[in-house]
Each structure stands twice: as C-alpha cells, then as structure tokens.
Amino acid sequence: MASAREAASSIARWAINNNLLGALHANMDSQYLDPVAAATFSQEALDILRHRSVSSIVFNEVTATVYVYTDKKVTVKETEMLPKVVLGCSVAYPQGPVDEIGGPVENAQGSAFTMANGPTNTGVYCCGSSISPGNEASAGTLGALVRKSDGSIYGLTNNHVTGGCNHSAIDLPILAPGVFDVAARTIIPFTIGFHSEVLPFVTGTAGNVSINDNTDAALFKISDASWVTSRQGHQYDTPANAVAPAVGMKVQKVGRTTGHTTGTIVGQQLRPIRVQAQSQRNRFQAIITMPNVYVVHGDYRPFSDSGDSGSLVVTNDDSGTNYAVGIIMSGGPDSTAPGGKKTSILPIAPILKGFNVTLVSGHNVT
C-alpha cells in the first residue's frame, strides 16, 4: 500500500490536471507532491468535485486517510459516486472552505484573560490571555514569552494579531487585555509591551513572490517582566523546548476565547493553502499562500475559535514532559470535526529560529 502522502499527491495531480486546484509556478509542486502518477477519477466524480469546489487536500499517515476538502457540502448520493480508496488509502470528502485570519472576534467563552499570583503575591498576566494593538478594537492571544540573546523578554503571537498584517508601527503599544475585552469592574487595561517585529508574509501568486517562508508571527517587547508570567493560564507552564508537529499527536492549548482545550493533529495540508488575511485598522485585505500547515480537531468541542489566534500549542510525551509544537494561525468549518470547526496551526520551531529567540519557562511561576 502507498503512503497517505503518495495517495494525496496522486489525487492532487489529478485535481491540478483538471483545473480543480491551481498549479504552483515553475514546477513548485514538485516540492510538495510525491513523484506518483495522477489518480484516475470518473467524469461523474470530476463533475461533482468541480461543482462542490476543492479547497485543499490533507493527509493522515496514521490512519492512511486522505481528506479532499470542498467549499460546498458533498451530498451522500454524490459521495457514492466518488472514489473511496486511492492507492490503498481511504478517501473522505469533508466540507471545509478556505480559512480566514484577522476576521471578526467572538466573545470569550469564559474570562478572556488569567491573572496568577507572582513571587511577591502581586498579580501577573498569564500567557493564553487577551491582547491587541492599542489602536484597534480587536483581541487575540499572547502565545508565549520568548527571550533574545541579550536577555530581553518578548511576547510571541501572530502577525495578524499585533503586527497589523505587516503594518503595525514599530513601538506601537500592545494592550492587555485586548481593546475588544476591556470592560467595567475588571482589570484596568495596561500596556503589556510595544510592537517590535514580524516574520513578514508576502501577498501574491507563487512565481511573482516567494511563498516558501510565509508564516504568521510577531513579537512585542514586554514593558516590565515583573508584570507577566510564562504560565499558560492556570494549566501549565510554557515548555522550555519544542518538537515538530506530527499527525496523531495529542495536543492542548490555552487561548483567549475557548480557554484550555485538548485535541489531536489529524492531518497535514499537502500543499500551501490560500488563507484570507485582513487588518481592519490598516485597511488591508489579501490572500496569503501559507505552507507547512497542520490541522487539529478538538477532542469533543472545537479546539479553537476566533480570538484564539496566537495560542501556543503544546504536546506531552510519555514521561510527562511538555513540549511546544506550534501556534494557532486560523480556523474554519470542517464537517468531520467536533463542533464543526478545524484549527490550522504552524510549527513553532521555524518561528523561534526566524526570530532567533528561545522559549521562556519558569518565569514568575510560583
């Protein structure tokens, strides 16, 4: 039996040949697709998938399954006319349109932030809590604290959360909680830090621009390290080390909207996906082609929702040690996921390397 990646590559080559998926420029698909022949689908299957519109292809080596995501739902009757097995691997056809980043924020399902006791019995602001640029009525999540070689501490989140999709001014104040979450009879919002830098993503079609380094990450310099803790809410401390994401891996996160959730990495996007990115404050809207994306399903409810962007995704090994895996980039509909929503995450290690920073663990943890 072929691998799930080979089966997914075979289906993708057929989809590209039939204009169901756009080809990447200058044979770039050879970077993502295994060298296998294109699958053979019937004319009926072609008509169905053209009508339902293929959005992406995800593969899972653990279950030997390929997921062909569509924009519009494939009916039960139509599913009967679509291939169930390709190269010995199962094929499913869930509904799951293109993800969106930077869209409207949902109300938090509990508290949008967590305060913990610091070493001097003063309140410290936890990772997994609400933040936003000081000039924008939005909210995302402080994923982790990180340290540069000079010892200075920064907050890590998404470019689209505090970086304004490449447009935030350097030294722009970052507020905690985020402006969207400011409310009466709760903590007074404070300047947790100042925007420092992003790993910029580029817009445009592959070939016109290089999409290989696209990611979604930003740093802001922490105003006062005594005000923050590396704790992820009341759940656990930020791990000191990172590992690569893997399909089948059990994961968890603490986020501004849905709090502490658990889930499983159920697949890897075969090819770079096109996500809709926007920053209302900066009047920016574009399609970003994002490589190296993994899909997470929650265990019994959505793993994340709007406002959880930037959350640090963590796994636990057999010895009970936690490791950082990735950060949440976005989410979207998924007819096979609990709660009908999937989460898209990006690996954390390339982000840490890109910023030349290390994870902060044990900071103001009592």
- For the record, the structure tokens of 289 come out as 């082609």
38/9 Cα distance (integer angstroms): 8
In the DSSP assignment, the letter for residue 33 is S
pLDDT at 102: 72
Query: CB–CB of 189/160 below 8 Å?
Result: no
What CATH number does the domain containing 151 carry? Answer: 2.40.10
Its domain, for residue 222, covers 115-232
Residue 258: CB atoms within 10 A of its CB come to: 25
Q: Clarify whether residues 225 and 256 are in a common domain.
A: no
Helices (H), 18-59: 43-52
Q: What percent of the chain has pLDDT over 70?
A: 99
Question: Do 188 and 153 belong together in one domain?
Answer: yes
Q: Looking at the structure, do residues 263 and 344 belong to the same domain, yes or no?
A: yes
Q: Are residues 344 and 243 in the same domain?
A: yes
Among the listed ranges 48-52, 160-164, 196-200, 209-213, which one has the minimum average pLDDT value? Answer: 209-213
pLDDT at residue 13 is higher than 80:
yes
Which of 3-7, 276-280, 354-358, 362-366 has the least mean pLDDT? 276-280
pLDDT at 339 over 70: yes
CATH classification of the domain holding 254 = 2.40.10.10
**DSSP labels for 142-181?**
--EEEE-TTS-EEEEE-HHHHSTTTTPPTT-EEEES-GGG
Residues 195 and 262 in one domain: no
Same-domain status, 151 and 194: yes
Q: Determine contact, residues 360/144, Cβ cutoff 8 Å.
A: yes
In a domain, 247, yes or no: yes
Confidence check: pLDDT of 97 > 90: no
pTM of the model: 0.96
- pLDDT of 26 reads 63
pLDDT of amino acid 121: 65
- Peptide bond connecting 177 to the previous residue in cis, omega within 30 degrees of 0: yes
Q: Indicate the residue among 198, 232, 266 that finishes a domain.
A: 232
Q: Is residue 49 part of a domain?
A: yes
Tokens standing for residue 267: 């697949």
Are 243 and 209 in the same domain? no
Average pLDDT (223-252) is 97
Among 149, 322, 220, CA closest to 228: 220
Residue 143 shares a structural domain with residue 163: yes
R_g of the chain, CA atoms, integer Å: 21
Residue 27 to residues 24, 32, 33, 114, Cα–Cα distance (Å) = 7, 10, 10, 48
- Of 6-20, 95-109, 332-346, the range with the lowest mean pLDDT is 95-109
Distance CA 174, CA 227 (A): 14
Distance CA 338, CA 300 (A): 5
Q: How many domains does the chain have?
A: 3
Give 16's contacts (C-beta < 8 A, 6+ positions apart): 22, 23, 29
